[in-house]
Structure 1
Amino acid sequence: MAGCEIVWPHRRPQPEWVWSTFSGANFVMKARGLILAAAAAIALAAPASAQQTETIRLTIGSSHPPVIPWVLAMRNTVVQKTNAALQAKGSKYRIEWNEAYGGVLYNFENTIEAIEQGIADFGWVGTLWEPAKMPLQNIMFATPFVTDDPKIAVRVMDQLMEKNPHFKREWETQNAIYFSATSSDSYQLFTKFPVKSMADLKGKKILAAGAVGAWMEGLGATAVNAGIPNFYNMMQTGLGDGVVLIPSGAVPIKLHEVAPHVTYANLGAVTFGAFAANKKKWESLPQEVRDTMLPIAREYAATNIGIVQQREKAGLERMKKEGARIAELPADERNRWAAAMPNLAKTWADAAEKRGQPGKQIMQEYMSLMRAAGAKPARDWDKGL
């Protein structure tokens, strides 16, 4: 057998280069080189966006849960649409959202502070709870009976934010960027008794939140300050005879069970907050991200209004089915109510003047914008300032 080559069964002799190439350390080195070359080829063949994607982590928050229209609207706009829009533009950036709703990070009393301090990068701000820091934003609470259309309310607030530096400054001094306003459906009356005229409210205790209580002045009724979570029990225990509230807020707490008479007085749709961002964080974002997000963020108001109107319509049907008696306040009684109120607009304007702001001029500008947008005020609040 000496000098003979052994050939194993089922194994053909291989040329010398095969054995030298795939033997021992030489095999490992060669194999590693082939693997690296293949990986490089795959990377070169992959789309540029896949290998260059940069993730930006942002927190979006609210004091209220996402079942509430103005919170759900944030999720349905910037959270759901931004990444798709960035991808469509071929951007390398993607947003990773930390959604912190329902008071996880802060409560309703600290919505502007949360944005100002960067506790949330984006979020809903309830300006109705900021009479000291953001009094101009609450102009509509001083002017009931102007419009019952939330679209008009938002349009006018957006115009004031764009045209009037005093409005914009209220946000900038809080280190915040305003995107668009939050509006409600129109305020109505929920009572234990039928309301056919203003005389029916005399001597009654009417529950209302904050500035809304002033709308009862001049009617002989007593306004009792309270919040939505307390309305049902207060009515049930006799602490109130009625409530001034928006239907979209009344239906979820089943207010019609203890206040079965629902009178559509259309006291007004108001803006009471806005979708905003921390100014420093916003300005730190890449320009292409801001350019992509801005129009989406401004869709917020229309999205919120759509949810509110759908729920108001569904809520009205539900109240009817569950025994509520729905009525509309006669137009002449509605006008009497508006005329009986004290001059809330003058009080608001005078307070602004004391702060060094042109309160009277702002009120006149606001009412002019309302009329131009199609509002038909039951009272001309810009007269008698």
Structure 2
Amino acid sequence: MQMKALVLAAAALVWAPAAMAQQTETIRLTIASSHPPVIPWVLAMKNTVVTKSNKALEAKGSKYRIEWNEAYGGVLFNFENTIEAVEQGITDFGWVGTLWEPAKMPLHNIGFYTPFANDSPDVIVKVMDEMSNKNPSFAKEWESNGAVFFSTTTSDSYQLFTKFPVRSLADLKGKKLLAAGAVGGWVEGLGATFVNAGIPTFYNALQTGVGDGVVLIPSGAIPIKLHEVAPHVTIVNLGAVAFGGFAVNKKKWESLPAEVRDVLKPIALEYAMENVRIVKEREKAGMERIVNEGAKIYVLPDDERKRWATAMPNLAKAWVEDNEKKGVPARQIMKDYMAALRKAGAKPLRDWDAGL
């Protein structure tokens, strides 16, 4: 009897893990981006939900595990179709570039109509996450596009990367400057020509003469080695802005088991500050590295920065008027946004809410 009992006990020990393994259910999810994972805001997705989700599910004792299909670098869609890719379920989770969606997501482009307002990515995350979650008009832009918003993608401050040295605004006259979407408005008033393009195309565009320079963030320029074709870096500090967000297809999100959503949401909310951490870390190290590799850095004097800010058309007023016509309370939103920036410590070089 004792021998039989021992055999049965041993069999039970062998069977138990196998039974537990059989009970594990795999959920297959796709996470994708138009940009490669060398870019901070893509790497931040990988570092949060992809890396941490299964560990968190296991720690919670959940029977679910996620099998991630990672499709970065434009494998599934390009930079002009990020919100459509999430909305249509081409990807389940994805980075959405709101800067290329001025028609569908105008409120999330507010930072591009308030240049020289703030240099801190921490401030932008705080302000934009709050507005995206608490302001009904902001929230509607995600909901109407079939997406559930998690957290904001923000940048370091925009600078100039050019083939030629820039010592004053006069040096930009007649030049072709590449930039993404709404950044083009910053070029107006300088006598330069704006060429709309995305980060994946910048290097070749400069190399082939499509452009003479780029208005871009260092954390986006350094990974693609933009300094090889545009070795003159002018520190302008046009501003850190929110230019996208991390989101999930609404139908897919609602179809997930509640315990999986409960695990994924707090991890996804870590995305914004993980991106900020990477951005700051890379900007510091990257600027030092490109100088060693031959880049020449020049800090544009404050009087030239002020001239640039003043030379711009009233971008904020035009943005407000355009959106008010569509029934969006853009005037109050602009006032609230600028007030929130100042409250958080920002010192705008131009008061974009003045006279609204």
- TM-score, scaled relative to structure 1: 0.84
Separation (CA, whole Å) in 1 of partners of 2:143 and 2:206 = 41
- Please give the residue correspondences for 1:153-302 in structure 2 after superposition, counting only pairs within 5 Å: 153-236=124-207, 238-302=209-273
Equivalent in 66, 71, 89 of residue 95 of structure 1: 66
Instruction: Please say if 1:132 is aligned against 2:103.
Output: yes
Match of 1:331 in 2: 302
Secondary structure of the corresponding residue to residue 84 of structure 2:
helix
Contact 2:142 2:149 in 1 (8 A): yes
What is the CA-CA distance between 1:34 and the residue it aligns to? 9.8
What is the CA-CA distance between 1:229 and the residue it aligns to? 4.3
Secondary structure of the corresponding residue to residue 170 of structure 2:
helix
Contact 1:208 1:245 in 2 (8 A): yes
The structure whose Rg is larger is 1
Q: Structure 1 pair 34/368, CA: closer, same or farther in 2 (3 Å)?
A: same
Map Cα deviations across residues 110-144 of structure 1 (whole Å, 9 max, x no partner): 22122112222211111122222111111111111
Q: Which amino acid aligns with 1:202?
A: K
Q: Which amino acid aligns with 1:148?
A: D
Map Cα deviations across residues 34-83 of structure 1 (whole Å, 9 max, x no partner): 99956863367659855643322222222222222212111111111111
User: Which segment is superposed worse, 175-184 or 213-222?
Assistant: 213-222
Secondary structure of the corresponding residue to residue 289 of structure 1:
helix
Secondary structure of the corresponding residue to residue 215 of structure 2:
strand
Query: How large is the Cα RMSD of the aligned pairs?
Result: 2.5
User: Which segment is superposed worse, 64-73 or 369-378?
Assistant: 64-73
Identity %: 72
Q: Which amino acid aligns with 1:298?
A: L
Separation (CA, whole Å) in 2 of partners of 1:65 and 1:199 = 35
Q: Structure 1 pair 92/198, CA: closer, same or farther in 2 (3 Å)?
A: same
Map Cα deviations across residues 20-47 of structure 1 (whole Å, 9 max, x no partner): xxxxxxxxxxxxx999956863367659
Higher relative contact order (Cα pairs below 8 Å, separated by 6+ residues): 2
Equivalent in 100, 125, 143 of residue 114 of structure 2: 143
Secondary structure of the corresponding residue to residue 182 of structure 1:
strand
Q: Structure 1 pair 63/239, CA: closer, same or farther in 2 (3 Å)?
A: closer
Separation (CA, whole Å) in 2 of partners of 1:308 and 1:378 = 23
User: Which segment is superposed worse, 198-207 or 273-282?
Assistant: 198-207
Match of 2:81 in 1: 110
Instruction: Please say if 1:303 is aligned against 2:274.
Output: yes
Q: Structure 1 pair 106/220, CA: closer, same or farther in 2 (3 Å)?
A: closer
Q: Which amino acid aligns with 1:132?
A: A
Q: Structure 1 pair 236/110, CA: closer, same or farther in 2 (3 Å)?
A: closer
What is the CA-CA distance between 1:238 and the residue it aligns to? 4.8
Separation (CA, whole Å) in 2 of partners of 1:324 and 1:162 = 41
Separation (CA, whole Å) in 1 of partners of 2:191 and 2:293 = 31
Contact 2:109 2:182 in 1 (8 A): no
Separation (CA, whole Å) in 2 of partners of 1:60 and 1:257 = 31
Map Cα deviations across residues 306-336 of structure 1 (whole Å, 9 max, x no partner): 2222222222112211222211111222122
Contact 1:190 1:259 in 2 (8 A): yes
Secondary structure of the corresponding residue to residue 150 of structure 2:
strand
User: Which segment is superposed worse, 154-163 or 109-118?
Assistant: 109-118
Contact 2:79 2:198 in 1 (8 A): no
User: Which segment is superposed worse, 280-289 or 354-363?
Assistant: 280-289
What is the CA-CA distance between 1:203 and the residue it aligns to? 3.4
Alignment gaps of 5+ in structure 2: none
Instruction: Please say if 1:384 is aligned against 2:346.
Output: no
Map Cα deviations across residues 261-320 of structure 1 (whole Å, 9 max, x no partner): 211000011111111111122122222221211110011111112222222222211221
Contact 1:49 1:90 in 2 (8 A): no
Instruction: Please say if 1:60 is aligned against 2:31.
Output: yes
Map Cα deviations across residues 211-262 of structure 1 (whole Å, 9 max, x no partner): 2121011223332333434444444455543321112222234332333321
Q: Structure 1 pair 354/336, CA: closer, same or farther in 2 (3 Å)?
A: same
Separation (CA, whole Å) in 1 of partners of 2:228 and 2:45 = 31
What is the CA-CA distance between 1:145 and the residue it aligns to? 0.7
Separation (CA, whole Å) in 2 of partners of 1:122 and 1:299 = 15
Match of 2:343 in 1: 372
Separation (CA, whole Å) in 2 of partners of 1:171 and 1:34 = 61
Secondary structure of the corresponding residue to residue 203 of structure 1:
coil
Contact 1:127 1:137 in 2 (8 A): yes
